[in-house]
Structure 1
């Protein structure tokens, strides 16, 4: 089995008249948490959306588990046990937390058909999901909505979880809870690709890191190496971790 669960080779993406990705080469090792870092506007979100088929690559190749998914539609990609949590979380505000979770459980027609052990595991990761089970999702706080968004993504077993800025706008206590949840997810065998601006979040969780600039990957390596090298941090990100 290939050690990389996801590979992008020379991927270009155009959005209308704009050329956003300029030949992205990215490898996501199986069973690890890979951080995608970079300044605002570097192309990180476009990379995630292109992987998921929400925007179509105009050139290059995307492989998941050795299978070419470059031209696949988003529903087809999700059926390969890939889940995506966008930056805006994408929850249904007028539905309850329970109804949001049921919608995400594709093969369940009612809540009783959801794997009870898995549901209890999710409750242990994100207690707020259980606490507000019958509340409208739109009434949750920002942190609670983020917990719900991740919970929906993992209501069924996933091989790859792709998350765009999970700690954005969250209080430190909730960020710590999110870090622990992702650590448990990784320990359970889920491969995670994460876009994150919170450097402490990245340093505590990341195994490997790729840095984007102007629509390209300009550095890839271990998170530990980057965390210990201030000169590298300044040259790539303009800051020190």
Structure 2
């Protein structure tokens, strides 16, 4: 058997404190290159803190975060982004007073105006998310929740990314928009993008996930194949308190 390639992203023994609170208690997590990894767990398990620690928004107090073999634990967030990492937070981070076009332009570092944005890439994004094209010149704050989520993901991928991290991409979305988001993530994966998603919608997780890590009380308590977890109701009940 050939050796498994090293993961694109690897957390080893990561602890994170926020003020006086010890949130992460030694997180070990491997995100294989070119796959979709789901991070599941009950509310308050430490999932969002894990994502924010990866991005350097909160500092690990112990342990390491490695991207493609490079230690990024102490790098500032902008430098982590320059390594080809995009992050869509749970609140989406949309600039409400700016148009959809202006939101994407902010993330296109090589462009000073919309005419300098990569037209082929924009057309690809419009194919993934038709609402982005439809509301191109509308204030982003006027869009629905699902449309804002599409804009947030589109902004994250307006430049090529090696790793896309999204916190609860399906939260509050209508079923038809969830299907659209699933297809978009499938296309990104097919194009070689590695994805790490925090998700509460278990249908979404089962459809997309290659691998899964389940968190509880600031630790990863289970890691394996998503298909194996989806097939084992007893394991789902013990880890998540519910069944897929």
TM bracket (short chain): over 0.9
Give the Cα–Cα distance (whole angstroms) in 1 for the partners of residues 110 and 12 of structure 2: 33
Following superposition, the deviation at residue 170 of structure 1 comes to: 0.6
Q: Of 135, 140, 161, which residue of structure 2 is paired with 1:137?
A: 140
Q: Does 1:195 align with 2:198?
A: yes
1:155 maps onto 2:158 in alignment: yes
For the aligned residue pairs, the C-alpha RMSD in angstroms reads: 0.8
Aligned partner of residue 129 in structure 1, secondary structure: helix
Partner of residue 238, structure 2? 235
- How far is 1:113 from its partner? 1.3
Query: Among 3, 9, 13, which residue is 1:10 paired with?
Result: 13
TM-score (normalised: structure 2)? 0.98
2:170 matches 1:170? no
Correspondences of 1:39-188 after superposition (within 5 Å):
39-188=42-191
Moved segments of 4+, more than 4 Å: none
- Determine the structure 1 residue equivalent to 2:24: 21
Q: Contact (CA 8 Å) 1:42, 1:212: kept in 2 or not?
A: yes
Partners of 2:182 and 2:118 lie apart in 1 by 24
Distance, in Å, in 1 between the alignment partners of 2:6 and 2:170 is 28
CA distance in 1, matches of 2:5, 2:162: 14
- Tell me, what secondary structure is at the counterpart of 1:224? helix
Q: Secondary structure at the match of 1:4?
A: coil
Report how many aligned residue pairs link the two structures. Answer: 241
- 1:160, 1:123 → 2: CA distance? 20
Q: Is the 8 A contact 1:2 1:66 kept in 2?
A: no
1:147 counterpart SS class: helix
Matched residues in 1 for 2:31 and 2:145: separation?
29
Could you tell me how far apart the structure 1 residues matched to 2:162 and 2:30 are?
Answer: 15
TM-score where L is the length of structure 1: 0.99
5+ unaligned residues in a row in structure 1: which ranges?
none
Q: Which runs of 5+ in 2 are unaligned?
A: none
